[in-house]
Amino acid sequence: MLALNNIEVVYDNAILVLRGVSLTARKGRITALLGANGAGKTTTLKAISGLLHSERGEVTKGSVELDGDRLDRLLPHQVVERGVVQVFEGRRVFETLTVEENLIAGAHRRRDRAAVRGGIERIYELFPVLRERRQQSAGYLSGGEQQMLVIGRALMSDPKVVLLDEPSLGLAPQLIEEIFAVIRRLKEEGLTVLLVEQNASLALGIADHGYVLESGRIVLEGSAASLQQNSDIKEFYLGLNEAGARRSYREVKHYRRRKRWLA
């Protein structure tokens, strides 16, 4: 189980970004973290994966734990060694390396060559198109193929927990469906998934549990089913009014959301 316990994150010793965030991602389940741009979702993931220091940020209060062991004091490669890996927004492949070389790079912590080869075959099973592109430079892949590759590269470390940051961003609906089917399969295989996603409908359609982050605070949590029925979620994240009809986001007043959720 991955747990964040009342963490605060500060950048440049001055800017408070996360304000007492607590959440739990349980083993073998998909947990969604929802929120608008700037809410602190990616910062939350970086607090877990140990990547804050490269951006002059740090966890100044609280703790991040995996099965009771502290992660927030570790370097990024040590977090990966503990079994937690992050898939970044923006499909950051090694463009000049082939697809297979990208996958091998993801297995840098594994020393058993047979296990690495088995891992590569598993990724090709999950994403058959990558097998077809195995000797192609990653920079020439389509956006959807690159997203498959970065997920596959992360899985090559044989993680316990996968942190996914906006996996649907910029992809066609058919590709999104394929990638989210793989995410469901990872859950079935027992992996813990923490999913950051602006598309609330997609996220809650696949998740078991969800949290809503606003201005660095958790303002709402519950089962995915209960959040889908929540009137605030419908209005502010699904774009539905009380009658269930679509509405313009221009009609939504931010102060109303904060007044209701942070009261």
Q: Which domain holds residue 25?
A: 2-83+159-261
Transcribe 167-211 into DSSP letters. Answer: TTTT--HHHHHHHHHHHHHHHHTT-EEEEE-S-HHHHHHH-SEEE
- List all residues 6 or more positions away from 186 whose beta carbon is below 8 Å from its beta carbon: 155, 162, 193
Q: Is residue 132 part of a domain?
A: no
Asked if residue 93 is part of any domain, the answer here is: no
In 3D space, the residue among 82, 99, 92, 103 whose CA is nearest the CA of residue 152 turns out to be: 103
CA–CA separation, 169 and 202 (whole Å): 11
What per-residue confidence (pLDDT) applies to 233? 83
Is 136 domain-assigned?
no
Q: Looking at the domain assignment, is residue 186 inside a domain? A: yes
Point out which residues pair with 101 in neighbouring strands.
none
Domain assignment of residue 116, yes or no = no
pLDDT reported for residue 261: 52
φ and ψ at residue 93, rounded to 5 degrees: -90, 165
Coarse DSSP helix, strand, coil percentages of the chain, rounded to the nearest 5 percent: 40, 25, 35
Taking the C-alpha atoms of residue 58 and residue 72, their distance in angstroms, rounded to an integer, is: 9
What pLDDT score was predicted for residue 121?
Answer: 96
Phi-psi region of 201 (alpha: psi -120 to 50; beta: other; left: phi over 0): alpha
Q: How many CA atoms lie within 13 A of 47 on its CB side?
A: 32
Look up the pTM and report it.
0.88
**141 is a domain residue:** no
Q: What is the pLDDT along the chain (263 residues), one digit of tens a residue?
A: 999 999 999 999 999 999 999 999 999 999 999 998 889 999 999 999 999 988 899 999 999 999 999 999 899 999 999 999 999 987 789 999 999 999 999 998 788 889 999 999 999 999 999 999 999 999 999 999 999 999 999 999 999 999 999 999 888 999 999 999 999 999 999 999 999 988 888 999 999 999 999 999 999 999 999 999 988 887 777 665 554 445 544 444 443 454 455 44
The number of domains in the chain is 1
Entry field: residues in the chain: 263
Q: What is the CATH number of the domain that holds 194?
A: 3.40.50.300
Q: What pLDDT is recorded for position 253?
A: 44
What pLDDT is attached to residue 259?
42
Residue 58 in any domain: the answer is yes
The predicted pLDDT at position 231 comes to 84
In the structure encoding, which two tokens stand for residue 143, read together?
A: 């956006």
Residue 107 lies in a domain: no
User: Which of 196, 213, 190, 169 has its CA nearest to residue 21?
Assistant: 213
CA distance 250 to 247: 9
